[in-house]
Amino acid sequence: GGKLEALASSPAMTDWALKSNGGKVLMTTSLDERYPPENMLDGHEQSYWISTGLYPQEVLVELGQKASLRNVKITGTNLKGVRLEGCSEDTPVNFKVIGESALPDAKGKISTNDVKAKADVDLKYLKVIITSGWFDFASVHKISVS
């Protein structure tokens, strides 16, 4: 796909969650040092972050620059309920719900799902909240925004 690559590199399509574009994970509600949070933003599906403990689980991402989000693509396992919250301020304090989705059961396999985002302002921070899972643990392999 030469066409796809050209599309992905156009300025309107920049994935500001990607580590190479300045995206950072500021906080997660659980931590296993074998599966560090930055794995979610490295652009690879082979690496991941895994939850330890009960739902909800939260991931707070600082985008490489303020951006208007229409869609958040989440790749992972056992993700059931996902809520998106966004913050446009310089510090990640006041968040508004910008999207919510119930994801299908992929029977423990890695799946990628789009969660539509409706934000009326450009966001600096994105919170991905896993409200429920299909299993005791969930993994997030990739978060990308467009």
Its sign, for the CA torsion 132, 135, 139, 144, is negative
Report d(CA 95, CA 84) in Å as an integer: 9
Predicted TM-score (pTM) of the model is: 0.90
Please report the pLDDT score of residue 11 as a whole number: 53
Query: Collapsing DSSP states into helix, strand and coil, what is residue 127?
Result: strand
The C-alpha angle with vertex 108 and arms to 126 and 34, in degrees rounded to 5, equals 60
Cis peptide bond prior to 36, omega within 30° of 0: no
CA distance 119 to 6: 26
Residues (pLDDT < 70) of the chain are 1-12
Q: pLDDT, tens digit, for every residue of 5-18?
A: 544 544 557 999 99
pLDDT in tens, 59-79: 999 999 999 999 999 999 999
